[in-house]
Structure 1
Amino acid sequence: MSRARSKTYSTRAIVLRTHPLGEADRIVVLATREHGLVRAVAKGVRKPSSRFGARLEPFMVSDIQASEGRGLHTVTQAVSVAGYGVGIVQDMDAFLFASAIAELAEVLGEGDASVPLYDLLLGAFAALARAAYPPQLIFDAFAIRALARAGWDMSVDACAVTGSVEGLNAFSPSHGGVIAARVPGASALRPGTRELLSSLKSGDWSSALGSDEAARRQAHGLTKSFLGWHLERTMSSLSRFDRQT
């Protein structure tokens, strides 16, 4: 009985992460618009003579050709489209938050209920590479929007419990975001924090950039707690950043 030929396809992909495999190969984790999260082997890319090894580094965008396998796919060709990694690695904060964004995208992209995040990733990595906004704000905006696509929409403009738009002075991850009701374990909101969370969720960067440092610190802490509650895991990339600061 003849074996069915592997299905080949072409797609544009963002490299999220890489792992060495053997002496010359590499496993690449890719985010694509058409195929979701893809794990593939790139053979020979660690050799100095490789024709496309540099095109499959983290935070690169490439047009790839690949063939499907039972487990891992195989990348057979890659053509560079955008090299966001060059700008990102020049700033430690940008690199650490880009790594956290990639980790979150990988978590949400796994399984049958994978979340389409290609466009959000493209925007986040481009902004980090250009240093368009503070890296922490870029991460928080990405995380809030990505979780919303996964079905965990953070309530920022109305009470997550009652729906009221008045008296929004606390935040509870377990209840879904900002609240006006009194619930155990809720965090009191500092002035400007709710408005910052709202700006990040809607993409109002002019308002977000007008926030003060105290509001940014609290918004980031609340975003992390919201992530932790819904993902039920600690993100290693964020843990590394916390140790650096």
Structure 2
Amino acid sequence: MGDFGIKDALSSITSQALLEALAVIIAASLVILLVQKLLPVLAAKLSGKPRLYLLASVPLVRLLVIVLTIIVVIPILVEPSFENMVAVFGALALALGFAFKDYANSLIAGIVTLYEMPYRPGDWIEVNGRYGEVRAIGTRAAEIVTLDDTVIVIPHSLLWNTLLANGNDGTDNLMCVAEVFLEPNHNVDRMLGLFRDAVFTCPLTKTYQPVVVTVSALEAGMRYRLKAYPLAPREQSRFISELTASASEICGEEGVRMVSNPYLGA
């Protein structure tokens, strides 16, 4: 078919067809803009899984609108015969394959992301040592906001060869760990009980979720790990700080010295 097939397919394009296609594209853009603005506002009024699922629907709805727009626009511009469709889509695929190889890779990975949902808006993930909350998921990349309020753009293509850790995986349950290092000579059972009580009495603790306090012996001392769930994942920094402060206060009251060096030969 070659170039003649493409020329024949494009020969039916008229000024009226271009205006109709432009109107459809503008309408689709407005719908996408409305979805991106309205759904996060509605999600902010919810909590738990309904909030996360509503945020996760934003990129999916956007992708559906884009696909539907392409399906509607092409028949407007090109006479919808089998030969014309083969010529147009074949040329389009060939051009995109060469010119936007990396972008297409990320785009395909984005479609896989929308299907498998390894992360969603509201999830706390770590990729290549970068940790933060997923703020938005686009067709090519995701945006995360770190605990220091830094926005990081992560291309979806990293999914192919990078380990990804998801702290809450679509829920509002995010386990946090506060570590305390103490000198070796003390009553371990008593400290375990006091630390456990401190976690339960913290106002930010989700007490109906498991609370675990563990201890391990290292070369230079004892490492206690206070593991629990905050009321909201976004409270994790404040939650860990309060647990650490409570543990420090307990150590002062019990006369147990904290070890300042966190690297105890582990």
Asked if these proteins are the same fold (TM beyond 0.5), I'd say: no
User: TM-score scaled by structure 1?
Assistant: 0.22
Relative to total residues, which structure has the larger strand share, 1 or 2?
1
Higher radius of gyration, 1 or 2: 2
User: TM-score scaled by structure 2?
Assistant: 0.20
Relative to total residues, which structure has the larger helix share, 1 or 2?
2
